[in-house]
Amino acid sequence: MDFLYTYDAVKLEVPLVDPEDARFVILGVPFDGTTSYRPGARFGPLLIRQATFNLESYVLDYDVDIAEAPIADIGDVSIVAGDSRETSKRIKETLCELLSVNPEAMPILLGGEHSQTLGAVEALKPKSYVVFDAHLDLRDSYEGNPYSHACVARRIAELGVREAMFGIRSGTKEEVEFARRNGIEWVHSRNYTLDTFIKVVRNLPEPVYLSVDIDVFDVSLVPTTGTPEAGGLRFWDVVEAIEWLVRNKRIIGFDIMEVAGGDVGTPTSVVAAKLLFYYIGMQWGKKSGGR
Ligand code: MN
Ligand code: MN
């Protein structure tokens, strides 16, 4: 099927099916129009897909071969240069088109700026938003733009979606107060444990949208991202949390955002691609009766 706002890109290096028949549908988001520090997230989708060329499709941990999972890659969304809101509307429309022909599809965004998660949440209408991020992203406006990457969680909160955030280590006093006033729970990366994660997410309403801003990981793992931060989470912290979530909550959409850089095999893209394969492995393993 053809989508109004997508075009072909380098594809994920696994066997692919048509979006009508897919359980997992990849959409690249090559947008970095509101990036305030390190540019290059427009190359995130390309870099993540290129990094999958180096990965085995068999995920050891789950005894699952994701080459057997029905995955589609519908290319990249056609962005409106510099216009975060218009680009996220195109994402919303693309996902609405997809869900109209395949309501069982689980969209997976590869980005690209975190601002664009808004479009996916608008299309999928989850009850909860679980996010791994170094930043609260709860500003009302940033550099004059309410659709900046620094405002995405605020815009999503305004839709009435419950929010829980993990790995946080950067925000303003105003953002912290907004979170307190609005019942948004967040866990500092210093205090992060799997038990804390479970305690916070256990009572969240379903379905859940899951977002990973790659800067949640320590800067040593992800040196090329829009706003790198020291003191972040380990790879297994995030994998183990998502394992719990996949087993215990209905997730309807997933993204890995803020991957940037210019070279093939850059650490940030390797971390993102591996996390992508783990996520598909967990979900597909669950469906086929594995762990
Ligand atoms: Mn961030
Ligand atoms: Mn973010």
| 234 CA from centroid of ligand 1 (Å) | 15
Q: 162: CA distance to ligand 2 center in Å?
A: 16
Burial of 253 (0-12, 13-18, 19+ CB in 10 A): buried
Residues of the chain with pLDDT under 50: 290-291
Q: Which ligand is nearest to the CA of 232?
A: 1
The pLDDT assigned to 288 comes to 57
Give the three-class secondary structure for 49. helix
Q: How far is the CA of 263 from the centre of ligand 1 (A)?
A: 21
Q: Is the pTM of this model over 0.95?
A: yes
Q: Determine the distance separating the centroid of ligand 2 and the alpha carbon of 47, expressed in angstroms.
A: 19
Decide: 115 and 198 in contact? Cβ < 8 Å: no
Q: Nearest ligand to the C-alpha of residue 255? A: 2
Å from CA of 67 to ligand 1 middle: 31
Q: How far is the centre of ligand 2, averaged over its atoms, from the C-alpha of 258 (Å)? A: 7
Q: Which CATH superfamily is domain 6-288 in?
A: Ureohydrolase domain (3.40.800.10)
Query: How far is CA 184 from each of CA 30, 164, 229, 241, 268, rounded to the nearest angstrom?
Result: 29, 6, 22, 18, 28
- Tell me how far apart the alpha carbons of residues 5 and 76 are, in angstroms, rounded to a whole number: 8
Distance 222 CA to ligand 2 centre (A): 14
Find the 49 Cα to ligand 1 centroid distance in Å.
21
> How far does residue 187's CA lie from ligand 1's centre (Å)?
14
Q: Which residues contact 164 (CB under 8 A, 6 or more apart)?
A: 128, 129, 130, 131, 184, 185, 186, 200, 201, 204
Q: What would the two tokens of residue 291 be? A: 């762990």
Domain regions of the chain by residue span: 6-288
Give residue for tokens 């069982």: 104
Q: What is the pLDDT of residue 199?
A: 98
pLDDT at residue 291, rounded to an integer: 39
Spacing, Cα 204 to ligand 1 middle (Å):
22
Tokens at residue 67, please? 């080459």
| Rounded Cα gap, residues 16 and 13, in angstroms | 9
Distance between Cα 5 and ligand 1 center (Å): 26
SS3 call for 4? coil
Q: Quick check: 5 and 78 in contact, CB under 8 A?
A: yes
Total count of residues recorded for the chain: 291
